[in-house]
Every structure is written in C-alpha cells, then in structure tokens.
Amino acid sequence: MNHDEMVARQVLVLARQIKRRRNQHLRTVGLTTEQADALTFFTDQPGRTVTAFKTYQEITHQTARMIVQRLQTHGYVQLVVSPTDARAKQVVVTPSGRAKREQLRQHGWQTSARMFAHLDADQQQLFLDLLRQVNQNLESDEN
C-alpha cells in the first residue's frame, strides 16, 4: 500500500469512527441523522423555510417536509407564517428543540475533545489547515 492509499484509508477510518459515535448518540437522544441535521440548520439559521432546508441539503421538497413534520410532531419545531410572505412558512425551533440542539452540540464538543486529546495547539492548527486544503481540493474538483 503506498502512502496516498494509507492516508486515504486513515481518513475513511476517521470518518467512520465519527459517524459511528454520532449515530450512537443520536439513538440515545431519539433523533435520526436527517432530523439532527434539520434541527441544526433551523437553529443556526433562524426564520428559514422548508424550501431553504431542501436546497441546503440537496433533497426533495417532500423529503424536507417529512423531516420537518417529524420534528414538529416531537415538539422541536413549529411552522409560522412568514412576516414577509404570507404564502411561506418559517420553521421556528421551540425551547425543547433548542435544548435538543444543545445536546447535539455538547456531544460534538466531546467528540472533538476526544479527537484532539493528545495534540497541542500547533498540531490542531496544522490539522485544521490540512483539512481545509483537502476540502478545497475536492471542491475545486467538483466545479
């Protein structure tokens, strides 16, 4: 196995470990990955619509609506008429939705702390710089 293959393999292992930890946590808080992503989107971008979420996630409108409906059933979001367009409904995160989002955020910080436990600030910065460059390489490849 050459060096590039070893690096690629380690990136895949890391991605799998992060995903496994996230999925375990989501099961304990009673959310699907899609619902967690939606809750994060609507918390971090208040006043957005299902259409905005659909576009952001690159999913169908029907799928986005179903995800929001499930969050609404759990009491994590509510739909309100947009003050600028009566035809549109904004997705507003409820207090229980914000509390659930905070659980997700805390778990993210715990995972991050675990990942970087034995790296000093310079190593963490180098890792961040390298990740940004790799992501930029992949993004430029898509255009």
Q: For the segment 25-44, what is each residue's pLDDT rounded down to a tens digit?
A: 999 999 999 999 999 999 99
Question: What are the boundaries of each domain within the chain?
Answer: 3-138
Residue-level pLDDT at 142: 67
What does the pLDDT read at residue 87? 86
Q: What percent of the chain has pLDDT over 70?
A: 98
The pLDDT of residue 143 is: 61
Q: In whole angstroms, what separates CA 37 from the centre of its chain?
A: 4
What is the distance, to the nearest Å, from the Cα of residue 102 to the centroid of all Cα atoms in its chain? 13
Query: Which of the residues in the chain have pLDDT under 50?
Result: none
pLDDT at 88: 86
Those residues whose C-beta lies under 8 Å from the C-beta of residue 51, and which sit 6 or more positions away, are 61, 64, 88
Q: What is the CATH number of domain 3-138?
A: 1.10.10.10
CA geometry: angle at 108 spanning 24 and 111, to 5°? 75
**Helix 3-29 with 95-115: angle, nearest 10 deg:** 150
Selection from 86, 109, 110, 91 nearest residue 45 by Cα: 91
Structure tokens that stand for 16 in this block? 């799998």
CA distance 35 to 57: 12
- DSSP label of 84: S
pLDDT of res. 60? 96
CB 22 within 8 A of CB 77: no
